Structure 1
Amino acid sequence: MNKVTQAIAQRTSHRFSYAWVVVAVIFLVLLTSAGIRATPSVMILPLEHEFGWNRSTISLAISFNIALYGLIGPFAAAAMQRFGIRPVVMGALVLLSIGTALSTLMQMPWHMVMTWGLLVGSGTGVAANTLGATIVSRWFEMRRGLAMGLLTASAATGQMVFLPLMASMVEHYGWRSVAFLVAIVAAVAVPLVA
């Protein structure tokens, strides 16, 4: 390698890349999605007490959520490829916000299946590891492992950040406060993606 090539390589290696801004925004989206996906775990007992539902009824909605979280990935990736990442992710965040906000009105078990199972499950399925892989493959040629590692860490980080706060809110203000919190967090993330 001659001196000119080394100088160019050195200058470009220190330049800031917009790809890291994209990673930061997607990290926040995935963090939000992970926090929302973990929300029903702190709501099980309050829902049992308020509505008299048994755990199997509540678990049915959570099962739909988990199933859609896994099944939506390939379709979400195809939608991102066809329509673009930004509109698909914004749609998922809107779906998450609407689904969690509507859950505060639920009275029947099927309401929970519709809100937390179908709407939230579909939204979190879009904002999952498939999103991280799509971002990394589009924006990175070098440092893909680092970028993917950061995005993968968002799931555990989201649960670590949200669960203690949500548990405290359920204890002091009830389960609806938690649903409103995650609805607001998802809505606030929409402009970040835009």
Structure 2
Amino acid sequence: MWSLKTKQRAVVLPLALALASITGCGMDDSGQSGSSVPAAGTKSLDDATNDTQRVSSDLLDLIKVKGKASEPGPRVSECGDGKDREKYFQMRHPWSLTPASGDELAGVMERLKGELPEHGWKIVHYERDSSRNKNLRLTADHDERKFSVSIVHLAKNEKPKLSVTVVSGCYQVPEGQRVDRY
């Protein structure tokens, strides 16, 4: 029998992997086509962490549902595509929002689909996923901020919630610095 934590990982990991391919606006370091993860500029790990937290906080404000948000903050991951892992990194911030009542999530995905574009987000996907529960999933990119988000409404969970994964583009650390945590 799966524990709740195992079930959450089973949802978050595929989402993170899907986002890794979706955040690819198909740009390389110069902003040109080629790479699967867009370049996000030069930034320190601390600044990138703060930017990622700010994006997550902005999204939480847009969701407009009171509830308990999960605690873990953003983490550093590799950009992939053969990029030097001491110079290049990506931020990932998986979190969830569990309201007091699942009824509070009714209509939130449709509302987000309409409101996110007003805040610079481009809706990339809005569909039911292939899981047994046919969860509603929204994926959006913010080209200016170089972030992507996947929001899944887990309506049939014991406690209905939104599962959110925020992923940045690929940052390069400033000259003389290196990525020292994964």
Larger radius of gyration: 1
Report TM bin, short chain: under 0.3
More helix by share: 1
Q: Which has the higher contact order (CA 8 A, sep 6+)?
A: 1
